[in-house]
Amino acid sequence: MTKRYFGTDGIRGRVGEPPITPDFVLKLGWACGRVFTEQWQGKATVLIGKDTRVSGYMFESALEAGLVAAGVDVKLLGPMPTPAVALMTRNQNAAAGIVISASHNPFYDNGIKFFCDQGAKLSDDTELAIEAMIDEPLLTVDSRALGKATRVVDAAGRYIEYCKATFPEGRSLRGLKVVLDCAHGATYHIAPQVFIELGAQVEVIGANPDGFNINDGVGSTAMDALRAEVTKQSADVGIALDGDGDRVLMVDATGALVDGDELLYVLAMHRVATGRADAGVVGTQMSNMGLELALADQGLQLQRAKVGDRYVKELMQANKWRLGGESSGHIICSDVTTTGDGIVAALQVLSAMIASGKSLAELRSGMKPLPQIMINVPTPPSGWRLDEGTDILQICQEVEATLAGRGRLLLRPSGTEPVIRVMVEGEDEAEIHKLAEQVADAIRMAG
């Protein structure tokens, strides 16, 4: 069945436009409460966390009201990274966890993301059940059966201790100078403490949220500020988180960007060096071909999942591999956490640096990324099709013939924005830029 509301990672959109409206989120909370109660077979508890965007207060109240009306107890965590909500859902024996966040999007967007009782993304069946329940009339349970709402006051401290515990025992970050960019997001009050308490000298940017500045010129989608600060501070490394803390990108001491594919390579090579490597690593359709070639040189496979960390996790579980992620910075180390976690992934990279005695620039040097061009084309009002005989398909076939096995073309609709992502990868940057524009123009003309 086709989902009406759920996308790649929950439900997301512009605040005030359906479905990201208070009335819909109220109904969504009630529908979730009904479904989770049925699955839990008893009184259910649901945790709610959020990032720092101003609309989070409004949607937190709407979700709380809907869940309580369905007879569900609610625990409010306040501003918390997405992976922290996943962790606490599991540790608190909750039926589910909900995160109010639009991740790397601007403040005027928001979204609702979900975790099951095990701290993993909801199954397709559960998402479909919630969508079906949204169509039912909202009936409040008897007053004696209403849920209660409480606030968890020590949530941040618990998560800080968890993050520190994922760092190898007996090691510290003493002697390491780190610039940390919190994107004015959900990690602003957590990430600095983690790195400071592990011994690093930490310079912080992007840690003064005002409800409107999340991801604005900072964070993992805007790396110039971090690159400049790393150079200015003569730091050993820079760490950029996104608005809800489930992504991380880094900057080496030279000021060069280190993306998710390169971080996966660094982590995979560290596991090879320490005898903990699996047969391969899970990436996505967007993973750079350079990662595939570099892993193959070390006898490791790269298997590609659909874009989205839930699909990466599913393929990791199927292969029984413990490392996977996306070029955007979702890195999953399943031996230490259940989901993409920017702070934990960064600590794993720093551990590799300390254990090897090498800089991040040295550790990444074994991978040579191929040039990659990405163009986001607004989805045409009339939609777009790749059916036989369409102009888009013809252009795509011509581009693939030009690449002739020396690169890749990938088209996919975004799961978080109303755009078609056109990605072309190959050896010649000028050539792939031209080819990507040809495909993008074909999509624009189709509208």
Query: Strand pairing of 331-333 and 323-325?
Result: antiparallel
Phi-psi region of 100 (alpha: psi -120 to 50; beta: other; left: phi over 0): beta
pLDDT in tens, 249-301: 999 999 999 999 999 999 999 999 999 999 999 999 989 999 999 999 999 99
Q: What is the pLDDT of residue 368?
A: 94
Which fold does the domain 158-364 belong to in CATH? Alpha-D-Glucose-1,6-Bisphosphate; Chain A, domain 3 (3.40.120)
Nearest to 76 by CA among 91, 93, 64, 90: 64
Beta bridge partners of 48: 76, 98
Q: What is the pLDDT of residue 383?
A: 67
Is the model's pLDDT at 167 over the cut of 90? yes
pLDDT in tens, 72-121: 999 999 999 999 999 999 999 999 999 999 999 999 999 999 999 999 89
Which fold does the domain 372-446 belong to in CATH? TATA-Binding Protein (3.30.310)
Percentage of residues in the chain having pLDDT higher than 70: 98
Q: What is the pLDDT of residue 117?
A: 95
DSSP conformational letter for 235: -
Q: What is the pLDDT of residue 131?
A: 97
Q: What is the pLDDT of residue 99?
A: 98
Beta bridge partners of 134: none
Q: What is the pLDDT of residue 242?
A: 98
Mean pLDDT of all residues in the chain?
Answer: 94
- Structure confidence at residue 446 as a pLDDT band (50, 70, 90): confident
Q: What is the pLDDT of residue 412?
A: 85
Is the model's pLDDT at 417 over the cut of 80? no
Q: Mapping DSSP to helix (H, G, I), strand (E, B) and coil, where does residue 339 land? A: coil
Percentage of residues in the chain having pLDDT higher than 90: 86
Q: Mapping DSSP to helix (H, G, I), strand (E, B) and coil, where does residue 149 land? A: strand
Is the model's pLDDT at 12 over the cut of 60? yes
Q: What is the mean pLDDT of residues 366-380?
A: 91
Is the model's pLDDT at 388 over the cut of 70? no
The CATH number for 11-153, chosen from 3.20.20.100, 3.30.750.200, 3.40.120.10, 3.40.640.10, is 3.40.120.10
pLDDT in tens, 332-368: 999 999 889 999 999 999 999 999 999 999 999 999 9
Q: What is the pLDDT of residue 387?
A: 64
Q: What is the mean pLDDT of residues 29-58?
A: 96
Q: What is the pLDDT of residue 405?
A: 73
CATH 3.30.310.50-classified regions of the chain? 372-446
CATH 3.40.120.10-classified regions of the chain? 11-153, 158-364
Q: Output Rg (C-alpha) for the chain, integer angstroms.
A: 22
Q: What is the pLDDT of residue 389?
A: 53
Q: What is the pLDDT of residue 175?
A: 95
Catalytic choice (101, 103, 327, 351): 103
* Whole-angstrom distance, CA of residue 4 vs CA of residue 11: 10
- Structure confidence at residue 191 as a pLDDT band (50, 70, 90): very high
DSSP assignment string, 392-444: HHHHHHHHHHHHTTSSEEEEEE-SSSSEEEEEEE-S-HHHHHHHHHHHHHHHH
- Does residue 359 have an active-site annotation? no
- Structure confidence at residue 386 as a pLDDT band (50, 70, 90): low
Nearest to 200 by CA among 84, 332, 341, 346: 346
